[in-house]
Amino acid sequence: MARNGVLQGTLDLLVLKTLHSLGPVHGYGIVTHIHSVSDNVLRVEEGSLYPALHRLEQAGLVASSWQLSDTSRRARFYQLTARGRRELKSEEENWEAVTAAVTRVLQYS
Amino acid sequence: MVWTPRWFHRLVTIVRPNRLQRDLEDELLFHIEARTRDNIAAGMPPEEARLAALRLFGNRTLMAERMRDADINRSADALFRNLRYAARVLFRSPGFSMVVVLSMALGIGANTAVFSLLNAVVLKTLPVTNPEELVILEAHVKSAGGERTALDWHRDLRNFQTHAAQYVELFTSSRTSAVTTLNNQVEQIPVGLVSGNFYSVLGIRPFRGRLIDRGDDSERNPQLVAVLDYGFWRGRLGGDPAVTNRTIVLNGVSFSIVGVTPEGFFGTSLAPPTPVIIPVQTEARLEDGESFRAIEGRLRPGVSRQQAASVLTSIFQSSEPHRNDVIVLKNNSRGEYSDRERFEKPLYVLMGGVTLVLLIATANVAGLLLARGAARRREISIRLALGASRAAIARQFLTESLVIAFAGGALGIALAYGAAGALVAMVGPAAVGLDVRPDARVLAFTCATTVMTGLLFGLFPVMQARGTTLNPSLKEGVGIVGRRPRQIARRALVIAQIALSLVLLSGAVLFTRSLSNLRSFDSGFDRHGVLLASFDADYRYSKDRRYQIQNDVLQRVRSIPGVEFAGVASTPVLSAGEYSTGLKVSGQAPCRTSMTIASPGYLETMRMRLVAGRLFEETDNQVGAPHTVIVNQEIVRRCFGSMNPVGMNVQAGFGVNAEIIGVVTDAKYRNLREDTLPMYYIPPRSVHPFGLVLHVRTAFDPRAAVEPIRRALREVDPAVPLADVRTLEDQSEQSVLQDRLLTSMSKTFSIVALALAVIGLYGVLAFTVAQRTNEIGLRLALGAQRRQIGQLVLSESAFMMLVGSALGFAGALAGQRLIQGLLFGVGPSDLWSLLTAVGVMASIALCATLIPAAEAVRIDPISALRHD
């Protein structure tokens, strides 16, 4: 999981969102994207990412294929499926609801 | 780019685990390389950059495992691995595998074959829509259990059709035969007769053209149309597409062919299909009398059989005063089959027997697996030591058992296909109309049997493996007199096999005795040395001429050297049919009796003994002479009590007034098991029938008389063929067909069962001797007598035999009660049969014991002590 105390279960959301914004991308691309977009706050652990990707693939949310990377190396690329897009949408809404609720709790004084 | 679907990954994962492994490695390697490159770009020294990248992954093997787990459907993968392992184990010992697979194939195949026959005779329904609505109509005296009475086909059927149409749609079908010319050859073919609504009520669509409809079958103006059976059209007419333009001539009358029935439809009876079907109202045009017509029907939706029957009964009873017969509707969903009743129970008994065979085969395979399991104890221990879970090992063993069962099942179906054909051939003419090809129900039965037996014998090695502990098994074989696995399960299996074989064997002995009783008891006539044949001039001859031919043939046959007597009779004995008419003494109520039309010479041919009066003479059969009849003793008992009937005048069937001239002994008429029927005989000329059956008693083998008789017939009229030639013994054998089937099948089952049980017994004994080689060597070295060593093996065998026999004895006694109704002249709990069975069993078991016993006795103490 993310080192900086990101809530459990958010890894899938981050991965799906990343695939949504970037299109087909390999695992390493996902790590660097999340790292840089979160201003170096969120670090996805490799040990969690790959099992998660494979799990998402078996759940039919992402699909994979072997392609050549920009460095001309064979790499496995992932992309969202239609089901993945739907899942992302509901996960996003869920996340909004939870964070809003957490914010309200924190602001209560 | 190609995005491969999920299932493809899963498949690759399962079928090619190596490729998956490589893909995982590649994916991770790519990541590490990319990170290393970025680290270097950020200014790290190359070596440190790589180590930093690696560090981020932590335990790479563990992660690879987790990825793999995510990728694959674990159970499917495990199943496949188990299957591959099982196949490898089985291929490694082909001899063993062949024996177990063949055992199962034999057991499952025999079960499938018997079930196919049971299915065809008892279970299968007609291939029409909603067969459960089909009924057949019967009239019974007073109640459903009473004797059957005849229905007036014309009047009653019309009456029912007009008044009960909203309850049941009635139709009719029957068969007759007619002479036709096919491919320039004159032959007699069976002809089907159906009512106009037959096809529409059954919901049958034509394969070609149209089928017979109501318009064709009108009572006033029946159409001369014919429909051909699909098989006949294909086989004999070459599937001629223009067949609907042709005509077929039956008994000289031309019928235009209008269509062909669909493939697989054979009517509502399980007899061979008739090649040609014509409207029932056209039967009169064939000028060959009227066939017996069954009234059948289809219940309207929502109407029950009882409901429709009570409506029909009230219509029937109110149609005429003093009619109190009851109409009964019998379920006809399976179609009419005259032999169903006599085969149904024997087939269930055979099914039971063949199930026992399967159980014995299962026990045998279980025993073999246990023996091999003992040899695999080290393998199991090692796998346990390496961390395999007991559940995984159990799954592995069960998979192996199921692989054996399914291999056996597949082979069994192939065997059954041939065996079912052989069974049908054994049953002979009575099974000609049966379709024993495996259908969905047979396949479902076989699959269920296969899985159940697989689980059953698979259970034993699993239980055995459960008992395996880590340590002692690895050390096994080191000590001399150390703790041995006690083989309780294997002994129990052998005992079960002995017990079950004994049950089968005693059944076989009982059926054999019953059949030999049936063949040899005094049936009131002499079954040996009599030839039966039919000869009948067909419609082209006048009635007088047909009658003349019959008499001339009899004359000539009697003069053939070696022929002792000859006569004709309406129905031969044991052919399940005779006239049922009353015999009335003036001033008394009519006495219900059966009648056989018999010429002079018939009773002599049958060797029925005269008790009083005289037999028929030629004069009794001459036109103008007074009518005479001969009665059997049963008639005297039932109708005359203490009076002597000879010389009395009675009114016989067809309103003939006749004098009783003699009394003969009782005999069996319809079948050998019946209660004695009251029977009288009347000469042909009193009732003028046709198509009587020729009976000839010869001093030599009756078959040798066939050619002389054929010649005699040719001399009388070369155009009249001799048909249905058989001996009275053949006829008698046909009538005990179900007993022959039971005898030969139960014998076969017993032989297989005995062989399996003996192999099982031998296996356990030989294994024990091999295991105790060291111990026996030590005993011998310490001064034990060889005789004592032999006794050791014998006593083990005797123990299993005794327990098995005791159990088998009890089982056989229970079994005898179940089959009592099928036996003839064999009392319940017949000890003699049981003891015979035990004797056979014991002597064969002794043979199986002698080999391992001799081996044990021959053990050389010196080499035995050195042996492992």
Instruction: State residue B478's pLDDT score.
Output: 44
The full 3-state SS of B773-818, as one line of letters, equals: HHHHHHHHHCCCCHHHHHHHHHHHHHHHHHHHHHHHHHHHHHHHHH
Mark out chain B residues that contact chain A at CB-CB < 8 A. 1-6, 9-10, 23, 26-28, 30-31, 33-35, 37-38, 56-59, 63, 66-67, 69-71
Q: How far apart are CA B760 and CA B366, in angstroms?
A: 10
CB contact under 8 A, B1 and A74: no
Instruction: State residue B212's pLDDT score.
Output: 93
Q: Is the pLDDT of residue B286 over 60?
A: yes
Instruction: State residue A4's pLDDT score.
Output: 43
Q: Is the pLDDT of residue B482 over 70?
A: no
CB contact under 8 A, A71 and B34: yes
pLDDT per position as a tens digit, B769-781:
887 888 888 888 8
Residue B556 CA: distances (Å) to CA of B63, B474, B559, B566, B567 = 103, 91, 5, 10, 11
Burial of residue B250 (CB within 10 Å: 0-12, 13-18, 19+) is buried
ipTM of this model?
A: 0.83
Q: Which of A43-52, B147-156, B622-631 has the lowest mean pLDDT?
A: B147-156
- Bridge-based pairing of strands B247-250 and B253-260 is antiparallel
CB contact under 8 A, B6 and A58: yes
Q: Give the list of residues 6+ apart from residue B622 with CB closer than 8 angstroms, or none.
A: B685
CB contact under 8 A, B33 and A73: yes
pLDDT per position as a tens digit, B38-92:
888 888 888 888 888 888 777 767 777 666 666 554 555 667 777 888 888 888 8
Instruction: State residue B2's pLDDT score.
Output: 56
Instruction: State residue B570's pLDDT score.
Output: 86
Q: Give the list of residues 6+ apart from residue B71 with CB closer than 8 angstroms, or none.
A: A54, A57, A58, B9, B10, B13, B20
Rounded to 5 degrees, φ, ψ at B671 are -155, 170
- Bridge-based pairing of strands A62-68 and A74-80 is antiparallel
More confident residue, B829 or B560: B560
Chain A neighbors of B75, CB-CB under 8 A: none
Chain B neighbors of A55, CB-CB under 8 A: 70
pLDDT per position as a tens digit, B413-459:
988 888 888 888 877 777 767 778 778 899 999 999 999 999 988 88
CA distance B21 to chain A (A): 13
Q: How many CB atoms lie within 10 A of CB B60?
A: 15
Residue B825 CA: distances (Å) to CA of B519, B741, B821, B834, B835 = 11, 18, 11, 16, 18
Q: Which residues pair with B591 in a beta bridge?
A: B583
CB contact under 8 A, B71 and A58: yes
- pLDDT band for position B8 (50/70/90)? low
Q: Give the list of residues 6+ apart from residue B262 with CB closer than 8 angstroms, or none.
A: B204, B205, B206, B207, B230
DSSP strands (E only) in B103-207:
134-140, 148-149, 168-182, 185-194
CA distance A84 to chain B (A): 13
More confident residue, B545 or B363: B363
Q: Which residues pair with B581 in a beta bridge?
A: B593
Chain B neighbors of A71, CB-CB under 8 A: 34, 37
The reply to whether A55 touches chain B by the CB within 8 Å rule is: yes
Q: Is the pLDDT of residue B831 over 90?
A: no
Rounded to 5 degrees, φ, ψ at B367 are -60, -45
Instruction: State residue B483's pLDDT score.
Output: 46
CB contact under 8 A, B70 and A73: no
Q: Give the list of residues 6+ apart from residue B61 with CB closer than 8 angstroms, or none.
A: none
Quick check: helix, strand or coil at residue A38?
A: coil
How many degrees, rounded to 5, is the angle at CA B552 between CA B546 and CA B555? 145
Contact criterion met (CB below 8 Å) for B153 and B170: no
The reply to whether A58 touches chain B by the CB within 8 Å rule is: yes
The reply to whether A36 touches chain B by the CB within 8 Å rule is: no
Instruction: State residue B32's pLDDT score.
Output: 85
Both tokens assigned to B499: 């017990």
CB contact under 8 A, A27 and B31: yes
Instruction: State residue B679's pLDDT score.
Output: 93
CA distance B49 to chain A (A): 15
Rounded to 5 degrees, φ, ψ at B326 are -110, 135
CB contact under 8 A, A69 and B30: yes
CB contact under 8 A, B63 and A51: yes
Reported as type and span, the H/E element at residue A77 is: strand A74-80
CB contact under 8 A, A50 and B67: yes
Smallest CA–CA distance from B37 into chain A, residue = A71
Chain A neighbors of B2, CB-CB under 8 A: 65
Contact criterion met (CB below 8 Å) for B12 and A56: no
Nearest to A51 among B4, B9, B67 (CB): B67
Mean pLDDT across B457-480: 65
- pLDDT band for position B228 (50/70/90)? very high
Chain B neighbors of A69, CB-CB under 8 A: 30, 34
Smallest CA–CA distance from B72 into chain A, residue = A58
Chain A neighbors of B54, CB-CB under 8 A: none
Chain B neighbors of A60, CB-CB under 8 A: 6
Chain A neighbors of B59, CB-CB under 8 A: 47
Residue ranges covered by each domain of chain A: 11-107
CB contact under 8 A, A57 and B71: yes
pLDDT per position as a tens digit, B352-383:
999 999 999 999 899 888 888 777 777 777 77
pLDDT per position as a tens digit, B551-587:
899 999 999 999 999 999 988 888 866 777 778 887 7
Smallest CA–CA distance from A50 into chain B, residue = B67
Instruction: State residue B538's pLDDT score.
Output: 67
Q: What is the mean pLDDT of chain B?
A: 84
Q: Give the list of residues 6+ apart from residue B332 with CB closer than 8 angstroms, or none.
A: B126, B134, B135, B136, B268, B296
Q: How far apart are CA B433 and CA B220, in angstroms?
A: 34
Q: B6, B9, B20, B24: which to substitute to probe chain A, counting the most A Cβ within 10 Å? A: B6
| CA neighbours closer than 13 Å in the CB half-sphere of residue B4 | 14
Chain A neighbors of B5, CB-CB under 8 A: 63
Quick check: helix, strand or coil at residue B569?
A: strand
Q: How far apart are CA B5 and CA B3, in angstroms?
A: 6
CB contact under 8 A, A67 and B1: yes
Both tokens assigned to B611: 């008790």
Chain A neighbors of B4, CB-CB under 8 A: 63-65
pLDDT per position as a tens digit, B305-315:
999 998 988 88
Instruction: State residue A2's pLDDT score.
Output: 38
Instruction: State residue B201's pLDDT score.
Output: 92
The reply to whether A76 touches chain B by the CB within 8 Å rule is: yes
CB contact under 8 A, B10 and A75: no
Amino acid making up residue B457: F
pLDDT per position as a tens digit, B165-174:
889 999 998 8
Which class is A11-107 in CATH? mainly alpha
Q: How many CB atoms lie within 10 A of CB B185?
A: 7
Instruction: State residue B139's pLDDT score.
Output: 81
CB contact under 8 A, B10 and A71: no
CB contact under 8 A, A46 and B1: no
CA distance A106 to chain B (A): 34
Smallest CA–CA distance from B63 into chain A, residue = A47
Sign of the alpha-carbon dihedral angle for B196, B202, B205, B208: negative
The reply to whether A24 touches chain B by the CB within 8 Å rule is: yes
Q: Is the pLDDT of residue A1 over 50?
A: no
pLDDT per position as a tens digit, B731-770:
898 888 889 989 999 999 999 899 888 888 888 888 888 8
Contact criterion met (CB below 8 Å) for B612 and B663: yes
CA distance A93 to chain B (A): 26
Chain B neighbors of A58, CB-CB under 8 A: 6, 9-10, 70-71
Q: Identify the top-confidence range among B194-203, B374-383, B849-858.
A: B194-203
Nearest to B70 among A26, A27, A55 (CB): A55
> pTM (2 decimals)?
0.73
Q: Give the list of residues 6+ apart from residue B514 with CB closer than 8 angstroms, or none.
A: B739, B743, B822, B823, B824, B825, B826
Rounded to 5 degrees, φ, ψ at B666 are -70, 160
